[in-house]
Amino acid sequence: MSGQGSLLRGRMASAPATGRHGRQALLVQAKMKSIAQNHKKSVWVNVDLDRLYTQPPYNPGRHVGPVKLQPLPGKGRGLVAERELPLAETALVCEPLGGALAGPEGTDLGPEDLLGHLLREQAEGRLGPADRARLRLLYDGSAADSPSSQRSRSVGLDDFAARMQERLRRAEAGPKKAKGKGFGAAPAAGTPAAAAATPAIDPVALGAPLLTPEELRPLVRFNCWGNSFAELGAAPLRQEPSRAVVGLWPEFAMLNHSCAPNTLTFNVGPYLMVQMAREVPQGAELTTCYLGELEQTPLAERRAMLRASYGFDCACERCKAEEKLPAAVSAAVAAAYAAGTCEEAMALRSAPTGATDRASVAGLEGALTRAVEGLEGAMQAAGLEAQACAWLRSSAWPAYWTLEALRDLPAQSKPGAGLFGGGPGSPKPFSDPEVPARLAAIVESVAPGSDTHLFLVLEAMSRAAETLAKDDPRMADLAKDCLRAHIVRYGRVSDAVLRELLQARSAVPHYLGTITLGTTQQQGAGAGAASAVTGPMLGGVTGVASEAQLRQAAAEVAGLV
């Protein structure tokens, strides 16, 4: 894809360059030039994403975009955009500290597993002083404004790797003590920062002693990230098996939480990618979501989890909106969530194929219908804005999801193994393409570009391709939504690699939590199961999304054409 700048330059070239018009043209030209330059500036990331997604030997190194680390009231440190960041920009590419721990796909690797791994690495001499010092700079559970938190506030983001290692190397190699700007350095005298000066950190001293399990445990607990399966598009292209992973990626660990975050995170091989999932202005804080699947729960559940696990009360925009709802709406959200997570609904998600039929869950379907209609009615009566409604549907997600899935099944079908068991003759998920499209809109409000979102947009497009004519305008809209979501996820990749990623994703049976959505019986995202589902889905992708649609979607996402 070429840059938008080239289009602007093309127009400028045809403008008259002399006389009154000439003067105007020069002004226009200057403006165009500055726009083009600004646009150019946005192409900052020096990572070849095509290679990263397809060639495992390629090492992109560590990349920190135009973001800076700064103290944020009540949150300790956080990452802030140094300039406007467009959608789909790659904000960070991080390397794991002490190596990530991998396990069989589907394993729920947690902080205790990682703790054991890092203690072993340390005991066997693979966690050197630089790594230990970097670990000690992560949030350790002390109150955001405590002295120990203050101590690490003066540390720049860059110092988490390159400078830090260089200083340690020099400090270890020679008698000269490391000092100066950056890591641990006191702010220049007389600057505002100096007024709040915190003691400079001696990196050698900080990294010298081995970490005790008691020291390491909170660092791991508050900062680790994990997933139970590999990136569904990149892993097959890199010919890597899908594996569960958990690790500490220090730059990523600087991101604070929001229940409707503006970034999305996923791992490709050992690297952790942070993509812009929303456009943000200069100075805005970059956020991620710590909740995993609980992102799609009501305010009370989210708050309880964040307090218990991370020790803070979230006050993000979504929480604030949900906090001041009329009582009738809050009650309707809670009722819908309860209906979607009741014992019967939960049992459906793990029932073996054919263990239930649609008639036997008629009672549940009725209860879910009443709950969802109750919430829709309450939101309408309260006159809530579209954004708030989407967030609330997301908070009651289990009800919307289970109801749509049940409704979509033919009456005589036998749901089981997570509603779409995939036994011989069992229905495909979502015979009505509007169902996954509606669900995708709910997920997009809190997690654009997430696995669930990508699955649903792909499913909507694939199902539509089977029933709608190619030139049906609904087909074009669905193709656009699908491409858009994938571009947000994968960033600045070439059209060819984007297509390969889409095809790889569409060839894998997905699972969302314990709900199996693939049309085969296999749980999980195992590559071995791919062949059974490639036919119709690939038809949907390759037969429908034309080059023109791909380019248009890219242009609309972030001016990537």
Q: Which residues in this chain contact ligand SAM in the complex, by CB under 6 A?
A: 74-78, 139, 144, 222-223, 253-254, 256-257, 310-312, 314
| Rounded Cα distance, 451 and 485, in Å | 10
Structure tokens of 26? 């020069």
Contact (Cβ atoms closer than 8 angstroms) between residue 560 and residue 45: no
Nearer to ligand SAM, 49 or 314 (CB): 314
Give least dist CB 75 to ligand SAM, A.
4
Q: How far are the Cα atoms of 47, 50, 430 from residue 499, in angstroms, in the given order?
A: 19, 11, 23
112 vs 466 by CB, closer to ligand SAM: 112
Nearer to ligand SAM, 93 or 335 (CB): 93
User: Please, what is the minimum distance in Å from the beta carbon of residue 171 to ligand SAM?
Assistant: 24
Q: Residue 257 or 484: which CB sits closer to ligand SAM?
A: 257
Closer residue to ligand SAM, CB minimum distance, 132 or 414 = 132
* CB nearer to ligand SAM: pick between 258 and 402: 258
C-alpha 237/C-alpha 266 separation (Å) is: 15
Is 201 or 482 the residue whose CB approaches ligand SAM more closely? 201
Q: How far is the CB of 303 from ligand SAM (least distance, A)?
A: 11
CB of 384 vs ligand SAM, minimal distance in Å: 23
Task: Please state, in angstroms and rounded to a whole number, the distance separating the CA atoms of residues 256 and 91.
Answer: 14
Nearer to ligand SAM, 76 or 269 (CB): 76
By C-beta, is 254 or 388 nearer to ligand SAM?
254
Rounded to 5 degrees, φ, ψ at 469 are: -70, 150
Whole-number minimum distance, CB 336 to ligand SAM, in Å? 25
**DSSP code per residue over 205-224:** HHHSSPPPHHHHHHHHHHH-
| Lookup result for tokens 């054991």 | 116
Distance (Å) of CA 209 to CA 66, 132, 135, 204: 33, 8, 12, 9
Q: CB of 111: closest distance to ligand SAM in angstroms?
A: 12
Q: Shortest distance, CB of residue 216 to ligand SAM, whole angstroms? A: 15
Structure tokens at 61: 């190194």
Tell me the closest approach of the beta carbon of residue 547 to ligand SAM, in angstroms: 42
Nearest-approach distance from CB 197 to ligand SAM, in angstroms: 18
Contacts by 81-85, CB closer than 8 A, 24 or more apart: 81/280, 81/281, 81/282, 81/283, 81/284, 81/285, 81/286, 82/282, 83/41, 83/42, 83/282, 84/279, 84/280, 84/281, 84/282, 85/276, 85/279, 85/280, 85/284, 85/286
Closer CB to ligand SAM, 144 or 498, in the complex: 144
Residue from 346, 314, 336, 326 nearest 397 by CA: 336
Distances (CA, A) of 93 to 49, 69, 81, 268: 10, 16, 15, 10
- By beta-carbon proximity to ligand SAM, the closer residue of 64 and 417 is 64
Q: Alpha-carbon distance 269 to 345, whole Å?
A: 35
Could you tell me the smallest distance in angstroms from the CB atom of residue 316 to ligand SAM? 6
**CA-to-CA distance for 331 and 174, rounded, in angstroms?**
66
Least distance between ligand SAM and beta carbon 74 (Å): 6
Q: How far is the CB of 223 from ligand SAM (least distance, A)?
A: 5
- Using an 8 Å Cβ cutoff, are 462 and 536 in contact? yes
Q: What is the rounded CA–CA span in Å between residue 428 and residue 416?
A: 13
Cβ distance 489 to 449 under 8 Å?
Answer: yes
> Is the CB of residue 348 less than 8 Å from the CB of residue 362?
no
- What is the spatial distance between Cα 197 and Cα 123, in angstroms, rounded to a whole number? 35
Closer residue to ligand SAM, CB minimum distance, 150 or 369: 150
Strand intervals (E) in 90-242: 90-94, 101-104, 225-227
Name the residue nearer to ligand SAM (CB basis): 80 or 382. Answer: 80
Q: CB–CB of 238/54 below 8 Å? A: yes
Residue nearest to ligand SAM according to CB distances in the complex: 76
Alpha-carbon span 296 to 442, nearest angstrom? 10
**Residue 362: what residue type?**
A
Smallest distance from ligand SAM to CB 326, Å: 25
Which residue, 156 or 559, has its beta carbon nearer to ligand SAM?
156
One DSSP character per residue, 249-283 reads: -TTGGGPEE-SS-SEEEEEETTEEEEEESS-B-TT
What is the spatial distance between Cα 479 and Cα 145, in angstroms, rounded to a whole number? 48
Q: Three-state SS for 511?
A: strand
Give the whole-angstrom CA distance, residue 333 versus residue 323: 12
Provide, rounded to whole angstroms, the least separation between the CB of residue 515 and ligand SAM.
Answer: 29
